[in-house]
Structure 1
């Protein structure tokens, strides 16, 4: 019988943190949450068998194999330092990072296996691969990326749209962006490539947020035990870094 992966959830009070706790509890044979970390002091120290810690108490968490982080930019650096000190892997989906913070992640990847992604959907990882291939095969075609999210999402274009745009650019396209904010849309991304008399549309639609939490846990499982380095969802899915 395989030993469950010991997971630390950082940002446990947020929507993604709550989804991670719930999904990990549903599959105890795969993941064991050894600690949940919140920004403020927790009102309960143990919830459903999981010990909770405040961010200020991060150094006192028990041993873990992988940290899964969906927190705030100011919380990433202390967690990064802890993972490096303990030689534990890190999966992070925290957005809004400053360039210096991204550089810190890249530097830490010399010591630990590390994955940062703007989107942990397996379907989006496949879309990202297809976008780059299509752009490379269709030189000179117009490339437009339209992303739609709920009315409360502030950043535009979304991090996922920008990631798709980077892949399109690697394929030789020049992406343009449009953003829609309406209702309770979880997330939709359309990449359109248009030439003379024809066009291709590549679309991903998310119907619930569990896909992102499930993808992050799957990424943690695939990242554990790998050599130090900076990994991507595409890399873990398609077998390269």
Structure 2
């Protein structure tokens, strides 16, 4: 498999390059924000993008024109950037995921099942911790967890998700989903979903110790997506969850 890697100088880009070498995957070129994707894209089977949300438009144009599938792990997209990715998926297969760890995708599945089983009698909170250099907050994984909870509870993300609390805020609304971001040190990524009920509390947690787990998941997604029909896929599709 031949991979064009975007975001090659970043932490995830370096982790993917290292994992690719062990897996005998060829990185045809390693590009970063501002490099010309179109000049390099013809030599690859699939594009893996861990660069920057600003690259979404150029990535979409290049992949669409060359008919190359894409695996996108970049987070923090605006509505316009997300729309460009969705438009690309109408012509080529795209895996878009905030997290390529098998364990985190198990957390997504478990969160959905727990929310369905526990019902409306439990308060929902999400906490995520990342290294001090992470640029976006909350993490894409935390947003995905909140989206899952909103879907199960039939809530509106914009109205019911609350990012942090401060001051005299009054009682907690029953349909509120709290999301809290902590930044510091070199933490790779911790995520916890807390279900708090009367007399009991359930916590579902995932803690990443190495970026290698994300890199291996991205390469797994890249192998899976080649040859698939156009569409917007998730890592849960890759894993068959």
In 2: Cα distance, 1:208 partner to 1:161 partner: 18
Match of 2:29 among 15, 31, 35: 35
Which residue is 2:102 aligned to? Answer: 122
**What is the number of residues matched between the two proteins?**
219
**For the aligned residues, what is the CA RMSD?**
1.6
In 1: Cα distance, 2:235 partner to 2:189 partner: 18
In 2: Cα distance, 1:188 partner to 1:57 partner: 33
Q: Please state how far the C-alpha of 1:57 moved relative to its aligned partner.
A: 5.9
TM-score by length of 1: 0.85
Q: Does 1:8 align with 2:17?
A: no
Given the superposition, is the C-alpha separation of residues 74 and 199 from structure 1 closer, same or farther in structure 2, using an over 3 Å criterion?
Answer: same
CA contact (8 A) 1:194 1:200 kept: yes
Q: Please state how far the C-alpha of 1:183 moved relative to its aligned partner.
A: 2.1
In 2: Cα distance, 1:229 partner to 1:62 partner: 21
Structure 2: state its 5+ residue gaps: 154-174
Q: Please state how far the C-alpha of 1:96 moved relative to its aligned partner.
A: 2.3
Q: Please state how far the C-alpha of 1:19 moved relative to its aligned partner.
A: 1.3
Out of 186-195 and 150-159, give the one that drifted further.
Answer: 150-159
Given the superposition, is the C-alpha separation of residues 117 and 105 from structure 1 closer, same or farther in structure 2, using an over 3 Å criterion?
Answer: same
Which residue is 1:144 aligned to? Answer: 125
Which residue is 2:91 aligned to? Answer: 111
Given the superposition, is the C-alpha separation of residues 126 and 80 from structure 1 closer, same or farther in structure 2, using an over 3 Å criterion?
Answer: same
State the 4+ residue runs in structure 1 displaced beyond 3 angstroms. none
Match of 2:52 among 69, 72, 85: 72
CA contact (8 A) 1:89 1:223 kept: yes
In 2: Cα distance, 1:11 partner to 1:58 partner: 15
Q: Please state how far the C-alpha of 1:143 moved relative to its aligned partner.
A: 0.8
Q: Does 1:162 align with 2:143?
A: yes
User: Residue 182 of structure 2 aligns to a residue in which SS?
Assistant: strand
Larger RCO (CA under 8 A, 6+ residues apart): 2
Which residue is 1:133 aligned to? Answer: 113
Q: Does 1:25 align with 2:5?
A: no
Which residue is 1:96 aligned to? Answer: 76
Which residue is 1:190 aligned to? Answer: 192
